[in-house]
Structure 1
Amino acid sequence: MKCRVLSLSLLLPLAFAACSQTPPATGSASSTATATSTAAATDTSLLGQYHWQLNNATDSAGKRIDALFVRAGQPVQLDFSADRLNVVNSCNVMGGGYSITSGRLQMGPMIRTMMACPDAALAALDDAIAQRLQGSLKLGLQSGGNAPHLQLVTDRGDTLSFTGVPTAQTRFGGPGETAFLEVAAQTVPCSHPLIPGKECLLVRERHFDEQGLPAGTPGAWQPLYQNIEGYTHTPAIRNVLRVKRYAVKNPPADAPSTAYVLDLVVESEKVSK
């Protein structure tokens, strides 16, 4: 059985990641912090440096919005680019254009794929998100502490709170290089000085043209002596992955100088032994 999924980003650019000046410091410390937070809220580059994971959502009466928390361990996530916002961990791929004006997030129409989700609560998650990410939302951003926090408030009083997790680009200090890796269905034994009996992914590099069609000759199969961040291998499943490849600055001894981060599963196929 073969399930081939070509991202829109392979066929077309993915349709789904201005600084205002801070007033001079006057008055109380709290008013200064508020001014700083307001200024940071319009910093699109700061928004793009983090994955924003939903940690709380309440309605105008302060009641938790349970419909937004149906995937344990996979919170709804917002990813901002220059003028697009993507929603991650919903049922379908969702996203839309946005702008920030006077401390408010102005959302354009949301676009989503039409994949059917067998779980009713997960299927309803798309609508629960879309209902709240539309029109104009009050935006607040606090960048102090261990992690930044983003808050969106709808006109009807729903409050969505997010915690920022640094993107790979932020962690590795650069945009990285896009590559495609085909991962064989079965792992292979590989030598590791600290891990007896280690099994490695067997991978080869693939190439695609602007229309998302295979191009050129695949690279040679070789064991990958490290993990691909964000990817969990399932035996008997062959995958083609779009990854970001980053140079690791000052890696520890015996650690790889390159990091791979999963961007998208492009193709999957169940392989019979």
Structure 2
Amino acid sequence: MKSTFKLTIASIALMGLAACAAPNNSSSPANSERHMDKETALQAYHWRLFATAGKDGQPAPAIAGAGGEQVTLNFTDKMMSVDNLCNVLGSGYTLKGSSISFTSPVSTMKMCADPELMRNEQAVGKLLPTATTWSMSKADSAPNNPAPVLTLSFKDGTQWRLKGEPTATTRYGSEPTRVFLEVAAQREACSHPLMPNYQCLKVREIQYNDSGVKTHLGEWMYYYGDIEGYTHTPGVRNVLRINRYELKNVPADASSKADVLDMVVESEQIGK
């Protein structure tokens, strides 16, 4: 028995908004340098919603994300996406000093079985275009390496507080290459120099044209190590969109690449 979930290449274009750019080192006038640092920092972090406040400034119920994950905002060049709801929401944004505005979000069209998650998604979609101001500060909990905190204020007086988590581009210090990998349903025994009885993922690379049609299937090969952000479920074949980072100054016996899951494009349950 098989069940398959697929996304077309056209439909995943919206989801690509979640890719974040690394901060740049371009110079700026002294009187705007601090603001530019904060503006580029928007793109250097995943912003995870950890606290909300109501119109009276008192803590308000948290907006729950899918599977207990925090609702997360990701910024690219003038585009923003919201993850960990039922669908991915995408919006343009504009900054002017401490002011911020979002366009009305567009969404992928997946239906979710969880009605609360759908309600939360609708609430987020309505609230974002009413954003008025933004500010960034450093958390007090880790003075040696404090995570930044983004505060968004809205017209009705409510606020969001979001904690920054460095993106893979920020952590690895380079822009990634986009790769599609098909992962076979079952792991297989492979020879690992450091781990006896190791079970490798079995993968092959897929290439698509601009219309989303597969143009090339690579040879199956063993994948040693892990794909960051991906947990394999036995019996499920997946096609993954991967961000691949080139690593520098790695030991001779270590991989020179780091693969980070961007999204699952296709998933198929291989049953009995």
What TM-score comes out, normalization by structure 1 length? 0.85
1:214 alignment partner in structure 2: 214
SS at match of 1:105: strand
- Distance between the aligned counterparts of 1:174 and 1:197, measured in 2? 34
- Distance between the aligned counterparts of 1:6 and 1:100, measured in 2? 32
Is the aligned partner of 1:4 residue 2:3? no
Is the aligned partner of 1:121 residue 2:116? yes
Aligned residues: 259
Give 1:70 shift: 4.5
- Distance between the aligned counterparts of 2:88 and 2:15, measured in 1? 14
| Distance change (3 Å), C-alpha of 1:72 and 1:226 | same
Give 1:73 shift: 4.4
Gaps of 5+ in 2: 21-25, 140-144
1:54, 1:162 within 8 Å by CA — same for their partners in 2?
Answer: yes
1:61 alignment partner in structure 2: 56
Give 1:86 shift: 0.3
1:11, 1:211 within 8 Å by CA — same for their partners in 2?
Answer: no
Is the aligned partner of 1:87 residue 2:86? no
| Aligned counterparts, 1:84-163, within 5 A | 84-142=79-137, 145-163=145-163
Q: Which runs of 4+ in 1 moved over 3 A?
A: 7-24, 38-41, 62-65, 70-73
For residues 146-197 of structure 1, what are the alpha-carbon distances to aligned partners after superposition, in whole Å with 9 as ceiling and x for unaligned? 2111110112111111111111111111111111100000011122233221
1:247, 1:257 within 8 Å by CA — same for their partners in 2?
Answer: yes
Is the aligned partner of 1:230 residue 2:225? no
- Distance between the aligned counterparts of 1:4 and 1:265, measured in 2? 9
Give 1:212 shift: 1.2
- Name the Cα RMSD after superposition: 2.6
- Distance between the aligned counterparts of 1:159 and 1:49, measured in 2? 22
Is the aligned partner of 1:170 residue 2:184? no
1:11, 1:212 within 8 Å by CA — same for their partners in 2?
Answer: no
For residues 50-95 of structure 1, what are the alpha-carbon distances to aligned partners after superposition, in whole Å with 9 as ceiling and x for unaligned? 1111111111223433251244641011110101100010111101
2:179 alignment partner in structure 1: 179
Q: Which amino acid aligns with 1:75?
A: Q
| Distance change (3 Å), C-alpha of 1:202 and 1:266 | same
2:10, 2:211 within 8 Å by CA — same for their partners in 1?
Answer: no
2:188, 2:202 within 8 Å by CA — same for their partners in 1?
Answer: yes
Choose 235-244 or 13-22, whichever is displaced more.
Answer: 13-22
Q: Which amino acid aligns with 1:195?
A: M
Give 1:117 shift: 1.2
Q: Which amino acid aligns with 1:224?
A: Y
Q: Which amino acid aligns with 2:271?
A: S
What TM-score comes out, normalization by structure 2 length? 0.86
SS at match of 1:215: strand
Q: Which amino acid aligns with 1:166?
A: P
1:27 alignment partner in structure 2: none
Give 1:259 shift: 0.6
1:251 alignment partner in structure 2: 250
For residues 189-239 of structure 1, what are the alpha-carbon distances to aligned partners after superposition, in whole Å with 9 as ceiling and x for unaligned? 1222332211111000000011111113x1110110011111111111111
For residues 17-70 of structure 1, what are the alpha-carbon distances to aligned partners after superposition, in whole Å with 9 as ceiling and x for unaligned? 59985649xxxxxxxxxx95x5644x2x22111111111111122343325124
- Distance between the aligned counterparts of 2:245 and 2:170, measured in 1? 11
2:23 alignment partner in structure 1: none
| Distance change (3 Å), C-alpha of 1:183 and 1:88 | same
1:28 alignment partner in structure 2: none
Identity %: 37
